[in-house]
Amino acid sequence: MKTCHEQRCHMCPKHRTKMLQMREEFRAKKDQLRSEMRTKITPKLRVLNQKLSRKENTIAQLKDLMKKTSMADELKELRKENSKLRRIQKRLKRRHALKMKKMRADIEEATFLKETDFDIPIFSFVTDLIYDDLIFN
């Protein structure tokens, strides 16, 4: 807070020199703080920024690794499902092959019975049933 005299006569030599001296002290203090900042704080800040960037890189690598492991887990599950489907497919192929083999045997038996042409009506009835069963099933 300036006194009335200082407010009125800020241009008088006494106050002017004091004001200039205070400005010089302020500038000197400011320059000293800047140089301290350059010599002490800036290297520390640089080190901290490097550590931060390393941590960010590590975090990014971990995220990529997590994605890869989740994709690997999904791939493992897909392989399990695929092997299950293959087993089921093989089982169905075997069943189909057995059905076809049985059907061929039934057809051969039916044709054999037709060729022998027994006069017994029961045999013709049975052969007709087998033949109809093969056709409709």
Model confidence pLDDT, tens digit, residues 15-58: 778 888 999 999 999 999 888 888 888 888 889 999 999 999 99
CB 127 within 8 A of CB 114: yes
Residue 1 predicted with pLDDT over 70: no
Q: Where are the domains of the chain?
A: 4-136
Residue 130 predicted with pLDDT over 70: no
φ/ψ (deg, to 5) at 10? -70, -10
Question: How many whole angstroms separate alpha carbon 40 and alpha carbon 51?
Answer: 17
CB 72 within 8 A of CB 92: no
pTM tops 0.85: no
